[in-house]
Structure 1
Amino acid sequence: MTKHDLDPRDVAELERRKRASLGQLLLRSARLLDERAVARVARRAPGVRRAHTALMPYIDLEGTRLTDLAERARVTKQAVGQVVEELEAMGVVERTPDPEDRRAKRVRFTPHGLKALLHGLGVLQELEEELTRSLGQKQMASLKKGLTALLAALEALEAQEPPAPPEPTPERR
């Protein structure tokens, strides 16, 4: 089936709904911000991929078990294991014994990894400053306030009924 086989009214309605959808706006904005941030980080640290930066927020400073990382990132343990191996090779994380279970390991940041994390957060701050110059301080403050409230509402809903796990995507394999 090609686009030409579709009813033009359905296509127009689809486009209208996508433009009006808060979810679509959030997803597209997040994707563009993420792509820009990863590109900037990769300029300083060649070899860094989105899969690497996507896992970092889920690693606790005291270390996190692979199974917990997989659950938090909502990907398979095998996928997390592969990304952790790559981050280990880059010197960003290390595996250490879990003090609560001698058979288990925890993934934690190395000193180099902590500096990389701080650099990544600095890149996000730079992008936020650029957006503030573009949107204006008042609009940026309003956006942050609204997104903070939205996040709290979504977290409250998740606490009531956790969402179903997402379908695997090419990046999550």
Structure 2
Amino acid sequence: MNKTELNTQLQELQAARPLTWGKVISLLKRQFDNWALHELTQQGYEEFKMAYMPVLMNIHPDGITNNELARKARVTKQAMSKVIKELIELDFVVTETDSHDKRSSIIHLTEKGKKLVIDARQKVCELDKEYEELLGKEEFAVLKEQLVTIIKCHDEKHGLVGCF
């Protein structure tokens, strides 16, 4: 394909400006991140970063290993270690050596971390209620079920069983 053909094809696609899945998901993610950051900042978590959210929300009350947390949060072990170091410095988590495997650590939420998780979950519940009012309770439930179906389908294709 020559330069003129490429330009023509690009112009045609841009003129159509279809509402693609990628665009919708990208905009929703950006809106959610901005909303969550604003809400948590308003509650006094000025040091909070959205990169912390998938980590903090996957820490079980009894703790979790770094490897299991990385799998559930869908990040590399190296990225997880970096985020955990930041969260330790901010007093959101602590670690202890795993009694069954001395090479591994168990990550626990601190009191500050537990409060953040509770506050974040409460805010998300408020957002769910807003969306239920906007779409209707049943329609919103169906939408979430359909999105979970898409997530699980994608996970199965990529061998990510049990991550959701």
TM-score bracket, normalised by the shorter chain, equals: 0.7 to 0.9
2:28 equivalent in structure 1: 29
2:47 equivalent in structure 1: 47
> In percent, how many aligned pairs have the same letter?
24
1:165 equivalent in structure 2: none
Structure 2 Cα separation of the partners of residues 153 and 79 of structure 1: 25
- Checking the alignment, whether the CA contact within 8 Å between 1:42 and 1:49 is kept in structure 2 is no
- Checking the alignment, whether the CA contact within 8 Å between 2:56 and 2:113 is kept in structure 1 is no
Structure 2 Cα separation of the partners of residues 82 and 113 of structure 1: 17
Structure 2 Cα separation of the partners of residues 154 and 23 of structure 1: 14
Structure 1 Cα separation of the partners of residues 130 and 71 of structure 2: 34
Question: TM-score, length-normalised on structure 1?
Answer: 0.72
1:89 equivalent in structure 2: 89
| Cα offsets for 1:15-47 (capped at 9, x unmatched) | 74651x224322321331132112211221111
Structure 1 Cα separation of the partners of residues 74 and 137 of structure 2: 35
- Checking the alignment, whether the CA contact within 8 Å between 1:96 and 1:106 is kept in structure 2 is yes
One-letter amino acid of the counterpart of residue 30, structure 1: K
Structure 2 Cα separation of the partners of residues 18 and 106 of structure 1: 46
SS state at 1:106 partner:
strand
1:71: Cα distance to partner?
A: 4.2
Structure 1 Cα separation of the partners of residues 112 and 154 of structure 2: 34
One-letter amino acid of the counterpart of residue 28, structure 2: S
SS state at 2:158 partner:
helix
Q: Across the two proteins, how many residue pairs are aligned to each other?
A: 155
1:69: Cα distance to partner?
A: 3.2
1:88/1:146 CA distance change after superposition, 3 Å: same
Q: Does 1:115 align with 2:115?
A: yes
2:155 equivalent in structure 1: 155
1:69/1:15 CA distance change after superposition, 3 Å: farther
Structure 2 Cα separation of the partners of residues 84 and 126 of structure 1: 28
One-letter amino acid of the counterpart of residue 39, structure 2: R
| Cα offsets for 1:105-144 (capped at 9, x unmatched) | 1111123312211111111111122222223334323312
Structure 2 Cα separation of the partners of residues 134 and 70 of structure 1: 35
Give unpaired runs (5+ residues) of structure 2.
1-5
1:10: Cα distance to partner?
A: 1.0
One-letter amino acid of the counterpart of residue 65, structure 1: T
Structure 1 Cα separation of the partners of residues 96 and 15 of structure 2: 50
Structure 1 Cα separation of the partners of residues 54 and 112 of structure 2: 18
Give unpaired runs (5+ residues) of structure 1.
1-5, 163-173
1:65-80 map, 5 Å = 65-80=65-80
Question: TM-score, length-normalised on structure 2?
Answer: 0.75
